[in-house]
Amino acid sequence: MSNNRAIKKATVPVLAAVAVGAVAVAALSANSSSDGGKTTTAGARNAAALPITAGDSADPAQWRLPIETYMISRADARLVSSSRDRVIAACMKRAGFPQWAPAPDLPPLGGRTETDWRYGIHDAAQAAKHGYHPDAADQQAYDRAMMAGAVDESGADPKVLQGCFQSAGGTVPAVTRSDLVERIKGDSFRESVKDQKVTTVFAQWSTCMKAKGYSYAKPMDANDDKRFNDPHHITDLEIATATADVACRNRYHVERTWYEAEVALQTRAIKANQAALNEVRAANKDTVSKASAAR
């Protein structure tokens, strides 16, 4: 299944997909296609007119990054996954393996959106209960899906299965990463921590945490503390640290400042790569259209 066996925390959500069995899309992240495809002038205008940020909510999970306009949504990724599963299952049945079944999709674990947990934990109630960990029920559901997808009990010939996977691409292309989109998303995150406003609130957060008895230079230092690495055990120290962390974040608007810095960086990068990104968006739309037609 995924190469992520157990996830304690998902600061920057990533996509997980099965390696054997079905193409199951994790609900951790959307992905985007790097295939070609041209967009019309009208299409480019429509893309530019889309509201690419929605940061009015007080909940970071409700915010939207500019680059998400050029990514396949989670719902559409699930549509593509399920459509491909049907095509592959039909191929396997024709090949004499009607018992073959796709591996289950990975359930959500950690952040529910691109911005949920991107800048660390932000929910005081969740921090007081789970610290830096996802909900225990979510972790268990994720682990069960991982185990269910790890073994193919159908007895199918691997070569036949591989052939069905390849042939499915002619009907429903797989959701694949756009290198450009991933680069913009990754670069903006890395560069945002150098923004003067961000470094200022990080310093304020650090001072706030020190006053509470915790010594960390940056918010993610607390999130990544090795003492909190066990995915199935939450200590009292972790709960106390996480609770203090969220309080200090809220006091100095850490997530909001960080998010706004990243939005500015992504906006500039998108303008510099608009033509290529329009092609990515057109390819994404084509993939989803084919998946819809195959249902």
pLDDT tens-place string over residues 210-261 = 999 999 999 999 999 999 999 889 999 999 999 999 999 999 999 999 999 9
Per-residue pLDDT band at 54 (split at 50, 70, 90)? low
Q: Which H/E stretch holds residue 288?
A: helix 274-293
Check: CB of residue 99 under 8 Å from CB of residue 129.
no
Q: Can you give the pLDDT at residue 35?
A: 34
pLDDT higher than 70, residue 46: no
Q: Can you give the pLDDT at residue 151?
A: 66
Which residues contact residue 56 at a Cβ distance below 8 angstroms, ignoring those fewer than 6 apart?
A: none
Give the C-alpha separation, 175 to 30, whole Å.
9
Per-residue pLDDT band at 36 (split at 50, 70, 90)? very low
Q: Which two tokens stand for residue 89?
A: 């299952």
Which residues contact residue 154 at a Cβ distance below 8 angstroms, ignoring those fewer than 6 apart?
A: 92, 97, 99, 100, 101
- The structural domain count of the chain equals 1
Q: Can you give the pLDDT at residue 40?
A: 34
| 1 part of a folded domain | no
Per-residue pLDDT band at 22 (split at 50, 70, 90)? very low
Per-residue pLDDT band at 29 (split at 50, 70, 90)? very low
Per-residue pLDDT band at 53 (split at 50, 70, 90)? low
| 78 part of a folded domain | yes
| 4 part of a folded domain | no
Q: Can you give the pLDDT at residue 110?
A: 78
| Predicted model pTM | 0.77
| 209 part of a folded domain | yes
53 burial (CB, 10 Å; 0-12 / 13-18 / 19+) is middle
> Which has the higher per-residue pLDDT, 41 or 74?
74
- Residue 6: which of 123, 166, 115, 140 has the closest Cα? 140
| 26 part of a folded domain | no
| 16 part of a folded domain | no
Q: Can you give the pLDDT at residue 13?
A: 34
| 254 part of a folded domain | yes
Mean pLDDT of 12-36: 30
| 20 part of a folded domain | no
Structural domain containing residue 47: 41-293
Contacts 24+ apart (CB under 8 A), 258-262: 258/119, 258/192, 258/193, 258/198, 258/201, 259/55, 259/60, 259/63, 259/115, 259/118, 259/119, 260/55, 260/197, 261/192, 261/195, 261/197, 261/198, 262/65, 262/188, 262/189, 262/192
Mean pLDDT of 194-218: 98
